[in-house]
Amino acid sequence: MNKLVTLSLLAVLGACSKSEEEKVPDGAENYALYCAGCHDPGPGHPATMLLEEMGRPVPSLIGRKDLEFDYLHSVVRQGLIEMPPFRVTELTDAQVREIYDYIITAQPPKQEPALPPS
């Protein structure tokens, strides 16, 4: 009888896990969660502002074509200046790759021209 109860529980748990599929975040969602606060285009994003001060032609990460995956991966794992390192338990290598793929293919938002002072 104990085997019957165990098998019944396994069947119920298996059915529950299949019906409640968890959505796995993609590169865009992980970028929004882990990177956008500092690296999105525009004012108020410290990493973008720093890269702009350094004279980078594209200071935000979105749309950068000059980034190599190995460099980005190294910065994510080791940190750089004010950026903390991310452990594999926080972002897997596959997630870092998805974020990289998103960064190099995403179109940066169009910048509104500054209005002249009134």
- Find the Cα–Cα–Cα–Cα dihedral 65, 68, 69, 70, rounded to 10°: -170
pLDDT of 66 reads: 86
Say which CATH class 23-105 falls into. Answer: mainly alpha
Higher pLDDT, 7 or 49: 49
List pLDDT tens digits, range 57-107: 777 888 888 889 999 999 999 999 889 999 999 999 999 999 999 999 988
Helix axes 69-78, 93-105, angle to 10 degrees: 130
**Rounded distance between C-alpha atoms, residue 51 and residue 22, angstroms:** 37
**Rounded distance between C-alpha atoms, residue 97 and residue 69, angstroms:** 7
